[in-house]
Amino acid sequence: MSDSQQATLTGARGPGSPRAGGAPWRSRADVGPLSVAGAFTVAQLLLVRPGMGLGWDESVYVSQVSAHAPAAFFSAPRARGVPLLVAPVAAWSSSVVPLRIYLAVLSGLGLFLALRAWRGVLPARVLTTAGALFATLWVTLFYGPQAMPNHWVGVGALAATGCFLRPRSRPALWGLALSAALMAWMRPTDAVWATLPLLVLLVGVRRWRHPAPLLALVGGLALGAAEWVIEAYVSYGGPARRLSDASRIQGGLGWNLAVTDQVRALSGRTLCRPCTGDLPAVVLTLWWWALPPLAVGAAVVAVRARRPALTLVPLACAASAAFPYLFLIGYAAPRFLLPAYALLAVPVADLLVRAVRAPGRIRRRLTVALVPLALAVHLTVQFVVLDHTVRRATAAHREWSRTAAALHRLGVRPPCLLTGYDYVPLAYYAGCASAATGGHDANTTEAAIGRAARSRPVAALVRPGGTPPGYARSWTPVRAGVLLAYLAPGPRAGPQRTGNPKE
């Protein structure tokens, strides 16, 4: 397909071409997306609290490059993108505050670049609205400043789709390749799902078939996944074995209807495994249930306007990105659907802008009144859930910090080893190594733990009322915060006043 045919199909103008009224696109197009990205960064710093400690998965990722604690076990589903992303800060500081600020600024920049990839494809007002819709979701605000991969897969998917739909040019091809590499760098399997419709179009549809974008997309995916593949051969027995282990750790990938699990997680449950309990109040989930009819409406409008690609392509990518987390996995977390939300924001924003600008005095007045009201309710719900989630996460992380301080007072300080309940984040907070003899993250044996106890402090952590592992039953039980720490006989450090990572 030629550049002119693609431009006709998408209804796009080339970068720098004049818009209606004679104003060049470059003069004002970036103002709206840049304002949204800046507000997104500020909102993260104000609402998510830079001092909120690291979560479980964050502790794993950050420990890979941190000088504060030994690297935690890196299981098969993970990829090295996040550790490399946080290395510029985590390598020299154990404080969470500069890390959160760094990630908030970086995530705002990522959102701006993802929206900018659509420049020349859709009007600036649509891109600004799309950015605002995505940036004000509680899950986007919550995970933007966190050391987690899902937001980056989302902005990568958004940017890749925009570059794919732009008239073919060298910047568009480079953008497509780099966006695909970013996604694969963070989570290779998610990158494949998010770009699957693009690959199908480039291979199976004649008018989209062209070697340059196909090479850019496949090359970007390969470049981003290269480290994951190499590590699979070195540490996991090959890519097939690593994928098999990843499936086992995630409960066995197969047909699992997880739609209601995702709905249960919308109340602010960062991980819903097992996902039981009542469904949240309707007011908390109404926006989520509204997405499918809004997507259908956007598709109908696009087809009638004879520019289907601009809407159907991001909708297809969103459906593909969401599919494994709605139908192939037996648990839920709101962050899993961030790529789908990023992609859905564009057609939904286009639909809303068209509705507000629809002809007809009565229809337009009604729309102008109802859309802001619906958005106000939507924002209120998002910020209420965000505040609840931040408070709960902060309380849990502070409890980990207090437990780590208690362990330090008991003489369990670096070099030390922790195992048992919440051992991964607690080991990071205390500056210890972490170990498990069973479960998905098993990385040692009982004999190895016994040998370690001869040369450094070792503690097995147990919840109140729980029982210690067999090898620790003869160890000394001592209260450490809300937990019991069974201390192995052996060396113990003297008193120390500091040592926890700063919050």
What long-range pairs does 168-174 form, CB within 8 A, spacing at least 24?
A: 168/3, 168/6, 168/210, 168/212, 168/213, 169/3, 169/14, 169/15, 171/15, 173/212, 173/213, 173/216, 174/216
pTM of the predicted model as reported, rounded to 2 decimal places: 0.91
Contacts of 478 (CB under 8 A, 6+ apart): 410, 484, 485, 486, 487
Q: Of 332, 317, 337, whose CA–CA distance to 179 is shortest?
A: 317
What pLDDT sits at residue 372? Answer: 82
Residue 220 near residue 180 (C-beta atoms within 8 A)? yes
For strand 483-487 and strand 433-434, is the pairing parallel, antiparallel, or unpaired? unpaired
The tens digit of pLDDT for each residue in 345-400 reads 999 999 998 888 766 655 666 677 787 888 899 999 999 999 999 999 999 999 99
Using 50 as the pLDDT threshold, list the residues of the chain that sit under it. 1-25, 496-499
What pLDDT was estimated at residue 249? 87
- CA-only gyration radius of the chain, Å: 25
Residue keyed to tokens 């179009």:
201
CA distance 6 to 9: 5
Within 10 angstroms of residue 461's Cβ, the number of other Cβ atoms is 23
- Residue 499 pLDDT: 45
- Burial track 394-431 (b if 16+ CB lie within 10 A, e otherwise): bebbebbbebbbbbbebbbbbebbbbbebbbbbbbbbb
Q: Which tokens go with 315?
A: 């909708």
Q: SS3 of 419, please?
A: strand
